[in-house]
Structure 1
Amino acid sequence: MNSTVSKSPLGQVPAPTAQAVAPATSAKALSTLLLAAGVAALVVITDQMIDNWAETHVLASWLALWAVAVLAIGALRGVTRLLAQNLMAGLDSWSAHVAHRRADQRLWAMAQNDSRMMRDLQTAMDRADDEDTPAQDINVLMSRRAARIVKSGMHYV
């Protein structure tokens, strides 16, 4: 072993990322809450249905409620897991969309105050618009750029 090379102790331990830990935990917690809510709702509905009969058959009604609870856990376990995973995936994509929109708004606000940044953004938008049909001469490129500036309302900048 080469004793002259020393490694940082921080470099040896990989840091867990919040994205790798949070989605599984959140989906599990949500799945558990949905399962508990579903089982509770089914037990309450069953209790309401056998209320008159339960007055004379206490032990049988107690066993029936437990049977409904166990069957509901077995039946709803997979459904609530899938529902929680789909809901978390939808919320994650919505959150990413909102963050992307906010970042674009902040970038646009900064570009309105900085002419170099605005020029870079306009060049990037021109390149993105022209990837399908690249312009052969400077006149076509400038006419496209002028049309885009007028269309997007950037002529005041």
Structure 2
Amino acid sequence: MTDATPDGPDSAHRRPEGLDDATVEALGKLSESLEVVEHARGFLYAFHRLTGKADLALGEAVEQLRQAGHHGIADRIDREIVGRNVIEGRWTFQIVEDYDDNYYSAFKELEQQARDELAAGKRHLFEAEMKEDRRTHGLRHHEARPEVDPHAGS
């Protein structure tokens, strides 16, 4: 499918008929907030991975302490810290699952519903219009979208 407008956003990034500026701006802010949630989720997964990696390394340290003859401290660390919950009753995988199931998924679903109801499901309309305002039309590396190779698929 080709777009009739050769020098502008593709149809997926053009404002639907009748969509007002205030709604585009509000959807842009909603998208921005989702991006922050995605970033936070990345940190949560990093926390999960780093905590797990630390626990495995701690297990190795305990074994090395035992091999070095320090059984008392090794036993104490093994008993009190290795495999310990990071939050009452939870390991990090449980925190990640709870975040995903009870916050992240609800946020994504409502953001999608807002776009579907208000903008025919289109994403990044605010950014697409900002790009149109900021780019230098006709200048290389300021194209509205990638050029389609007319010879592709022949």
Name the TM tier (shorter chain): 0.3 to 0.5
Q: Which structure shows the higher helix fraction?
A: 1
Q: Indicate the structure whose relative CO is greater, using CA pairs within 8 Å and at least 6 residues apart.
A: 2
TM-score, normalised with respect to structure 1: 0.34
TM-score, normalised with respect to structure 2: 0.34
Structure with higher Rg: it is: 1
